[in-house]
């Protein structure tokens, strides 16, 4: 039994006959966990909104996969076909594109919420690491998705992919064309986008949800709250209310994405020319771009590895009892400084001209 089972009121059952009939057959209430009142606010629903975004990405991704051709000679043309010939193809592709971007935003905001409320502390250290795995997989989706367009940006992303693979030696061989001559690397990255990354995501999200249910939502980070009294506020609200809130915010996100898709459809550049390097990476990779200016592919790999290592260390260096950000001043200052460095590097990269790194 967990601490939360002992201390928390049971989730309030939903009395609707439809729900009861469904629950009797499927035992859905077994998936519910006690949700304190404060966990229905936007900051505490960001993880759920991210999950909602992934559901939209899966649905639109399945539709796109019916028309995309992952062979190098046909890939770019098949994207043009999706945009110009497939009914609603441009719109569905744009929903997929914008939702991928916003899911990165909501995942980062979720991380910031968990960081600020000290929710990575004992006993949730492992779930923080699982969350970091989910973030890495999310970025992997964006990266492989960028290659699939097979325009100039995609071809350059692939060139970086291969360089990184070579840098990692035997550990990175999967990311290079040397892995096999029977399947082009573009096709393998497509397979990664459709099978390996979703499999990793499914395992990680199952673990994430299991641990959330096991530990319950962390205590409200008030001034006096500590990890020692890890129990929620007495007022537990209904789980279905939590789901309804989540769905409401998710639909607002979908409406924003829909508007973006209508007014700013996802771009597609000219068919890529291998050997040229004239584009910049998607925004979430921009903070590492100046590091590549300085130290080439080592800067890119070293910088991103350092960021993930620093984040992974958070629960192990901040071991105080306190949850309130006001009583965790030094880690909050480090967090804010890290954010400022990342935003400054990203802004510098955004404003500067693209520089060839790989093919001088």
Q: Which residues of this chain interact with ligand HEM, rule CB under 6 A?
A: 44-48, 50-51, 107, 110-111, 114, 119-120, 124, 127-128, 131-132, 134-135, 138, 205, 208, 212, 217-218
Q: Work out how close the CB of 217 gets to ligand HEM at its nearest, in angstroms, rounded to a whole number.
A: 4
Q: Work out how close the CB of 56 gets to ligand HEM at its nearest, in angstroms, rounded to a whole number.
A: 12
Residue 107 vs 185, nearer CB to ligand HEM: 107
DSSP letter string, 170-230: GGGGGGSGGG-SSS-HHHHHHHIIIIIHHHHHHHHHHHHHHHHHHH-SPPP--TT-BGGG-
Q: Work out how close the CB of 322 gets to ligand HEM at its nearest, in angstroms, rounded to a whole number.
A: 15
Residue 68 vs 120, nearer CB to ligand HEM: 120
Q: Work out how close the CB of 108 gets to ligand HEM at its nearest, in angstroms, rounded to a whole number.
A: 8
Residue 131 vs 165, nearer CB to ligand HEM: 131
Residues 6+ apart with CB under 8 A from 129: 312, 315
How far is residue 64 CA from its own chain's centroid?
20
H helices present in 12-41, as ranges: 17-26
Kind and range of the H or E run holding 36: strand 35-36
Q: Work out how close the CB of 351 gets to ligand HEM at its nearest, in angstroms, rounded to a whole number.
A: 28
Residue 109 vs 168, nearer CB to ligand HEM: 109
Report the alpha-carbon distance of residue 43 to residue 40 in Å, rounded: 8
Report the alpha-carbon distance of residue 33 to residue 48 in Å, rounded: 14
H helices present in the chain, as ranges: 3-7, 17-26, 42-65, 75-84, 89-116, 125-148, 152-167, 185-191, 197-215, 239-263, 289-317, 329-351
Calculate Rg over the CA atoms of the chain: 22
Q: Work out how close the CB of 110 gets to ligand HEM at its nearest, in angstroms, rounded to a whole number.
A: 5
DSSP letter at 1 equals -
Residue 123 vs 269, nearer CB to ligand HEM: 123
Report the alpha-carbon distance of residue 267 to residue 84 in Å, rounded: 13
Residue 97 vs 128, nearer CB to ligand HEM: 128
Angle between helices 329-351 and 289-317 (to 10 degrees): 170
| Buried b / exposed e along 151-161 (16+ C-beta atoms within 10 A) | bbbbbbbbbbb
Residue 115 vs 175, nearer CB to ligand HEM: 115
Residue 307 vs 355, nearer CB to ligand HEM: 307
Residue 43 vs 299, nearer CB to ligand HEM: 43
Report the alpha-carbon distance of residue 155 to residue 285 in Å, rounded: 16
Residue 216 vs 281, nearer CB to ligand HEM: 216
Q: Work out how close the CB of 112 gets to ligand HEM at its nearest, in angstroms, rounded to a whole number.
A: 9
Q: Work out how close the CB of 280 gets to ligand HEM at its nearest, in angstroms, rounded to a whole number.
A: 24
Query: What is residue 26's three-state secondary structure?
Result: helix
Q: Work out how close the CB of 262 gets to ligand HEM at its nearest, in angstroms, rounded to a whole number.
A: 26
Q: Work out how close the CB of 342 gets to ligand HEM at its nearest, in angstroms, rounded to a whole number.
A: 14
Are the C-beta atoms of 158 and 189 separated by less than 8 Å?
A: yes
């Amino acid at each position: 039994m967990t601490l939360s089972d002992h201390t928390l009121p049971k989730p309030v059952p939903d009395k609707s006959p439809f729900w009861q009939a469904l629950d009797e057959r499927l035992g859905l209430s077994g998936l519910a966990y006690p949700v304190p009142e404060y966990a229905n606010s936007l900051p505490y629903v960001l993880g759920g909104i991210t999950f909602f975004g992934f559901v939209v990405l899966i649905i639109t991704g399945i539709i796109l996969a019916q028309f995309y051709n992952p062979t190098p000679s046909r890939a770019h043309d098949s994207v043009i076909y999706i945009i110009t010939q497939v009914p609603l193809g441009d719109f569905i592709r744009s929903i997929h594109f914008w939702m991928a971007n916003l899911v990165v935003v909501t995942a980062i905001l979720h991380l910031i919420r968990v960081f600020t409320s000290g929710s990575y502390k004992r006993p949730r250290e492992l779930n923080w690491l699982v969350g970091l795995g989910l973030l890495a997989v999310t970025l992997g989706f964006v990266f492989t998705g960028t290659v699939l367009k097979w325009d100039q940006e995609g071809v350059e992303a692939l060139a970086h992919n291969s360089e990184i693979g070579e840098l990692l030696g035997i550990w990175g061989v999967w990311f290079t064309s040397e892995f096999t001559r029977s399947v082009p690397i573009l096709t393998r990255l497509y397979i990664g986008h459709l099978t390996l990354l979703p499999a990793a995501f499914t395992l990680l999200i199952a673990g994430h949800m299991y641990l959330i249910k096991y530990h319950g939502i962390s205590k409200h980070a008030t001034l006096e709250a500590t990890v020692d009294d890890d129990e929620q506020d007495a007022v537990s609200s209904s789980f279905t209310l939590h789901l309804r809130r989540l769905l409401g915010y998710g639909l607002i996100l979908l409406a924003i994405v829909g508007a973006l898709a209508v007014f700013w459809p996802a771009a597609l550049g000219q068919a890529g020319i291998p050997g040229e390097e004239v584009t910049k990476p998607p925004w979430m990779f921009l903070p590492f771009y100046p590091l590549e200016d300085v130290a080439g592919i080592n800067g890119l790999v070293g910088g991103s590895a350092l960021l993930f290592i620093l984040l992974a260390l958070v629960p192990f260096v901040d071991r105080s009892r306190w949850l309130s950000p006001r009583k965790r001043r030094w880690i909050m200052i480090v967090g804010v400084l890290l954010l400022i460095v990342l935003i400054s590097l990203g802004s510098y990269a955004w404003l500067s001209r693209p520089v060839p790194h790989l093919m001088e």
